[in-house]
Structure 1
Amino acid sequence: TKEDVPYWGRIKIIKDQVAEKKGLMIQEIMNFGSDAQLRLDAYAWSWAACSFLDTHPAFQKTFREHLKNIGDSSPEFSLDLVKAYGEQWFQVRQQWQVFVMNIEYGFDIARESIDVVEVRPLELAAEVIPVRADRGWQSTGLRVTAGMKLAITATGRFVIHREESENQPQGIPWESEAGGITLRYHRGQPLGKLLIALDEPQQLGETGLSNYGPVGAGGDIMIPSDGVLYFRVNDSPSELAANEGTLQVTVQQITD
């Protein structure tokens, strides 16, 4: 529709700049000068930052409370917002990067939000982690170290897509297991395939969630660096609401 055109334009600007390795951290946007809005790209990035903070279920309240000071154009406005988030600012940085690196029309910020999980070391006993199909990256809370070898097994079935049908108002469900389905691909991997990533929740640079890999139904993997394990099923951030079901992912150290 005509109303959709501005959103497509802003998203395209961000996607193009991310592809050119010119993506911005959220603090860079907050440091824009008062004349930055005269530039179309700066306006697009500012729109994205406000949309992200105002829609994210964990960040919305603090952001809206801070908008009471919207008339303050000094650098203190941005500094005070960072202070208001406190330790949560690490989560803002992490999830902002996931947002801009995967941004598309209809990106479901709420379903892509990452819940905070208490972090603890992975012990020798097997851990069973539920991974929801209707959410983005999900922290296991399990800290692993470089050189650790893990056996991963994923079981269960879930709905990964609903095909439009005149006879079924809710659509025809596409069921998948952790290996995904090859009827459709997203970012080079089968739709529904289980993905794995490592991240440091209090990282100061690029999030590890930008560097993920397929694990599918499971296998043995070597951990390349210290971090916390994250899982998700492969799908577009704009189509998570159609999904239903949970995988059970078992993680166990291999000690021999």
Structure 2
Amino acid sequence: MDRYVWSWAACIYLRNHPVYGPLLGRASAAPLDYSMKLSEEFEKSLSARWDWVERDWKLFVDDFDFGYQPESNLVAIEDVAQGIRESGLSEFTLDTDCAKGWQLARCYLKAGEQVEIHAQGTYVVRSANQEAWESSPDGITYEYHRRMPLGKLLGGFVSTDTSAPLEVFGVGKQAVYEAQRDGWLLFRVNEPVGQRLDNSGTLQVRGRITSSRPR
């Protein structure tokens, strides 16, 4: 069963990905070849960017659950992330849409660097019985998801090392994060993916790299 489920998850991921979806479409165009040739040709088309396939897959798997909507939750970071790494920026601002999944900040951290994060804003994380549930970046302690308050701002760190797992940490109104490896920061609000569709509003996330390590 696990192999069957993960195979369909991979189909959803690849079919809806803005970069890999067209490649899959070309590989699976009629007439279909039911031998291993199709898979081999598709894998070959992805070989040069396989590290990015793995990074986006980790973000997909973290959020994949009942009610998953690819158009608002599937993340493709390759093109933007490479530009961020080359930019050498030490500060960033991100208007985080609370109805969407992981969103990439313009922040590249090297191992040992710290980033000081501040967030502000009020947004609706759920409408129940025609009553809006408003949240701040610290979330609503009336309900919890994955052991953190509903609506709390979360941070995610994707490493250049593809063997490293996605790191997810609580941010709230402010936090300091220290990178153990080189990589990129992302943000989203804490809520089951199938319940984010009725969210509205944004919160502003600001960050500044505070370490003195030369960039």
Equivalent position of 2:208 in the other structure: 252
SS at match of 1:68: coil
Contact persistence 1:157–1:245 (CA under 8 A): yes
| TM-score relative to the length of structure 1 | 0.70
Question: Within the alignment, does 1:194 sit opposite 2:153 as a pair?
Answer: yes
SS at match of 1:238: helix
C-alpha distance after superposition, 1:149-201 (max 9, x if no partner): 222110111111111x2xxxxx322111111111211111111111112213x
SS at match of 2:118: strand
C-alpha distance after superposition, 1:126-147 (max 9, x if no partner): 3212211111111113111122
Equivalent position of 1:9 in the other structure: none
Structure 2 CA distance for partners of 1:74 and 1:203, relative to 1, 3 Å: farther
Question: Within the alignment, does 1:82 sit opposite 2:55 as a pair?
Answer: no
Structure 2 CA distance for partners of 1:176 and 1:148, relative to 1, 3 Å: same
Q: Which has the larger radius of gyration?
A: 1
Letter in 1 for 2:186: Y
Which structure carries more strand by proportion?
2
Contact persistence 1:137–1:232 (CA under 8 A): yes
Contact persistence 1:94–1:207 (CA under 8 A): no
The CA RMSD measured in Å over matched residues stands at 2.5
Q: How do 1:100-119 residues align onto structure 2 when only pairs under 5 Å count?
A: 100-116=61-77, 117=80, 118-119=83-84
Distance 1:123 1:95 in 2: 22
Letter in 2 for 1:131: T
> Structure 2: 5+ residue runs without aligned partners?
none
Letter in 2 for 1:80: E
Of 125, 132, 136, the match for 1:173: 132
- Report deviation, 1:250: 1.0
Identity within the alignment, % = 30
Structure 2 CA distance for partners of 1:115 and 1:46, relative to 1, 3 Å: closer
Q: How do 1:46-195 residues align onto structure 2 when only pairs under 5 Å count?
A: 46-68=7-29, 71-85=32-46, 87=48, 89-116=50-77, 117=80, 118-120=83-85, 121-124=87-90, 126-163=91-128, 165=129, 171-195=130-154
Distance 2:175 2:49 in 1: 34
| TM-score relative to the length of structure 2 | 0.82
Paired residues, number: 207
Contact persistence 2:92–2:106 (CA under 8 A): no
Question: Within the alignment, does 1:220 sit opposite 2:185 as a pair?
Answer: no
Contact persistence 1:115–1:138 (CA under 8 A): no
Distance 1:104 1:212 in 2: 17
